[in-house]
Chain A
Amino acid sequence: MATPAISPASARRVFWALAAAGGAVLAVALGAAHYMEQHGHIVTGMNNQVVWGLPHVFAIFLIVAASGALNVASVGSVFGESGYKPFSPLSVLLTVALLAGGLLVLVLDLGRPERLLVAATHYNFRSIFAWNMILYNGLFVICALYLWSLLERRLGKFAKPVGLAAFAWRIILTTGTGSIFGFLVARQAYASGVIAPLFIALSLAWGLAVFHLAQSGLAQLAGEAMSEELQGRVRRLLGIFVVAALYFVAVHHMTNLYWAKQTAFEHFILVTGAPYPVLFWIGYVGLGSVVPLALLFHPRLAGPRSTALASGLVSLGAFALLYVFIIGGQAFPLEIFPGYEVASSFSDGKVDAYAPSLPEFLLGIGGLAASFLIALVGVHALPILPLEAFARPAAAPAK
């Protein structure tokens, strides 16, 4: 057993300090949501052109990362890599925490959040949104069962089948999240079948990055980190996922560039439409992908700190990409009259200037805080931390 870095009493103090900090941020976010609910979306930067703003960037990040946070559990249970098994409970807990945080933001950003019951009782099965509500709730149920089977020794035999179900479910779920955009036939930025696999690739990278940040953060409190061999595998896996995501992003843009009717949009999003090209090239491609890849794969740079830094950068790059994808995609005018120069009082033919307001930013941060709190309480209340595992060689079988 490794010696924890701090004494149990100090650990308790750290827990309460973190819980208080997370709770304070969440309370401010709930206040911001209440303010938005009272005044309407007029107090946000959103309008009739950019209808989904910064809260959606946070919500989609959390929901996509939630699916990917399950990677480690899947590798352990589904693909039988026993070295990962001690970390499976943390992986499943993070999935629940991230999904809950994302959904919180999504719900509080609704025009009528108090009508959640309507959304839960009225389903239009032609809507991918309605399907997603079932998929999200289903993942909570499956993850609860999964966590139970991982933590309760007597239910251990169910861990593999439940893990398999969770793996299949999360792939379908992220297909659904991507298809929210993929099925939008009207918009140049979306309407592509490649968005579903793109989102799956993104989820693999973002989820593993968040998992790594949480795991290495906890290791600071609990003592030693993962074995070096396991760290190396996580590092390489993260690198592969970052490349996969970059590949799908490239395919998506290249498909659009090939279609004459989409070239104006691509020119806007990749070259002229400030701030989106900067966020895309420097934020996502540079800082969010190339730099992390160098940190992960360069022999001189590779190490625990580099992996943590790379994970942080991948997560920041995710926000840059989502901002470009969601907001840049809406800011570009819809082409209703091809071949015509268009002007109207309703932003026709005009790039929309969206500037997020403080309340919507706070609501988004609140989603992160909610996820953080759920994970923190989970780690505190359940035997999530694989304390024994920290000292074990990776090849040791899980208990």
Chain B
Amino acid sequence: MNPVSKRRREFLGTAATIAGAMIAPGVFLYDYAHGKAPGEAASGKVRWGMLIDTTKCASGCRDCVDACNQENGLPGTTRPTDSQWIRKVDLKDLKTGKAISAPVMCQHCADPPCVDVCPTGASFKRADGIVLVDRHTCIGCRYCMMACPYKARSFVHEPTTGQKPDVPRGKGCVESCTLCVHKVDRGGTPSCVEACAAAGHHAIVFGDLNDPQSEISKRVRAVATTQLRADLRTDNGVRYQGI
């Protein structure tokens, strides 16, 4: 073979390999994370959810709570008037004495009572199952807080400081866990999930409950999980294992 053509072939082969190696992760990541283009509407084909494995959730660990406060610009103080989008709940089975620790946040119900009762429609559910509050139409009546079976919502009792650009907050409005929608829409995962994984607990799995191939769907199929206050049939997007 002509040495020039051999070199050319080798060069092309190497270049293709390098190019492939550089592009592939991006293609793979995009496919994996379902990131949304800016302005693209939330898809009803997706149902975002979380599975919380209480057997892996360490009592006393607050990494998910701290990460949420950090990500969403919450002060992190715990007076009765302070916002807590996610809280650690310590449970003791009254019959057996079994102790459980678990985070509780907005359960992102399929039939959210907060959305039903909101007079102005400020509480709403996106097509992909994320329940949010529109800060522009919330009049601060707190009826959603009366209606929420999980006490997942907080009322902003005083002027806010240290707001994050992605997470608008305001005195006199009601707020709650957004499932870190600003990250999810860019293909990311909620901060509590990341923090739990970073601490090595991996107690929270986030993903698309409608995708049979997602980790969360596989887990929900394989193990017994519960929805809080299942008697109300609000069909929560957050499920618990070990309660």
> Is B243 an interface position by the 8 A CB rule?
yes
Name B120's contact: one of A41, A118, A187, A347 (CB within 8 Å).
A118
A81 contacts chain B at the CB level, 8 A cutoff? no
Inter-subunit contact B139/A344 (CB<8 Å): no
Tell whether B187 is near chain A: CB-to-CB under 8 Å: no
Q: Are B154 and A341 neighbours in the complex by a CB distance under 8 Å?
A: no
Q: Is the CB of A111 within 8 A of B120?
A: no
Q: Does A358 contact B (CB under 8 A)?
A: no
**Do the beta carbons of B149 and A129 come within 8 Å of each other?**
no
Cβ-closest chain A residue relative to B90: A343
| Candidates B104, B118, B158; contact of A40 at CB < 8 Å | B158
- The 8 Å CB contact of B81, one of A42, A129, A186, A334, is A42
> How far does the Cβ of A76 sit from chain B's closest Cβ, in whole Å?
34
Q: Contact between B80 and A122 (Cβ–Cβ < 8 Å)?
A: no
Q: Which residues of B contact A52 (CB under 8 A)?
A: 142, 146
Within 8 A of B (CB), among A41-95: 41-42, 46-49, 51-52
A41 to chain B, nearest CB (A): 5
Q: Which residues of B contact A113 (CB under 8 A)?
A: 139-140
Q: Which residue of chain A lies nearest to B173 when distances are taken between CB atoms in the complex?
A: A111
Query: What is the minimal beta-carbon distance from A167 to any residue of chain B, in angstroms?
Result: 26
B147 touches A184 (CB 8 A): yes
A-side contacts of B156, CB under 8 Å:
40, 111
Q: Which one of B79, B147, B150, B174 has the highest number of Cβ atoms from chain A below 10 Å of its Cβ?
A: B147
**Which residues 145-162 of B sit at the A interface, judged by CB distance below 8 A?**
145-151, 153-159
CA distance in complex: A186, B122 (Å): 20
**Given A184-B146, A186-B229: A119 and B139 within 8 A (CB)?**
yes
CA distance A337 to B91 in the complex (A): 8
Question: Are the CB atoms of A336 and B228 closer together than 8 Å?
Answer: yes
Q: Chain B's interface: helix, strand, loop or mixed, by majority? A: loop
Task: Specify which of B93, B148, B149, B159 lies most central, judged by the most chain A CB atoms within 10 Å of its CB.
Answer: B149
A140 at the interface (CB under 8 A from B): no
- Closest A residue to B138 by beta carbon equals A112
Main secondary structure of the interface of A (DSSP, over half): loop
| Residue contact B94 to A344, C-beta cutoff 8 Å | no
Determine if B87 is an interface residue (Cβ-Cβ < 8 Å).
yes
Identify B151's interface contact among A133, A183, A185, A346, CB under 8 A: A346
Is there contact, CB below 8 Å, between A40 and B171? yes
Give chain B residues whose Cβ lies under 8 Å from the Cβ of A51. Answer: 142, 145-146, 155
Interface residues of B in 18-61 (CB under 8 A from A): none
Number of interface residues of B (CB under 8 A): 57
Interface string of A203-215 (1 = CB under 8 A from B): 0000000000000
Cβ proximity bits A118-154 to B, threshold 8 Å, 1 near / 0 not: 1100111011111001000000000000000000000
Which residue on chain B has the smallest CB distance to residue A186?
B149
Q: Across the interface, which residues of B come within 8 angstroms of A133, CB to CB?
A: 119
In the complex, per-residue mask of B78-120: 1 if CB is within 8 Å of any chain A CB, else 0 = 1111111001111111110000100010000000010111111
Q: Report yes or no: B229 in contact with A111, Cβ–Cβ below 8 A.
A: no
Is A344's CB under 8 angstroms from B89's CB?
yes
Q: Write out the residue numbers on chain A whose beta carbons fall within 8 Å of the beta carbon of B91.
A: 337, 340-342
B216 CB to closest chain A CB (Å) equals: 22
Q: Is A339 part of the binding interface, using a Cβ–Cβ cutoff of 8 Å?
A: yes
Known pairs A124-B115, A124-B118, A126-B117 / 17 extra A-B pairs, C-beta < 8 Å: A41-B157, A46-B157, A47-B157, A48-B82, A48-B154, A118-B120, A119-B120, A122-B119, A126-B115, A129-B141, A130-B120, A184-B147, A186-B229, A342-B90, A343-B89, A344-B104, A345-B88
What 3 pairs between A and B have smallest CB-CB spacing?
Answer: A111-B140, A111-B172, A186-B149
B-to-A contact residues, CB < 8 Å: 78-84, 87-95, 100, 104, 113, 115-122, 136-143, 145-151, 153-159, 171-174, 228-229, 232, 243
Chain A residues in contact with chain B, CB under 8 A? 37, 39-42, 46-49, 51-52, 110-113, 115-116, 118-119, 122-124, 126-130, 133, 180, 183-187, 330, 334, 336-337, 339-348, 352
24 A-B pairs with CB atoms under 8 Å apart are A37-B172, A40-B157, A41-B157, A48-B145, A52-B142, A110-B141, A110-B172, A111-B139, A111-B172, A112-B138, A112-B172, A119-B119, A124-B115, A124-B120, A127-B118, A130-B119, A185-B149, A186-B148, A339-B93, A344-B88, A346-B87, A347-B151, A348-B151, A352-B80
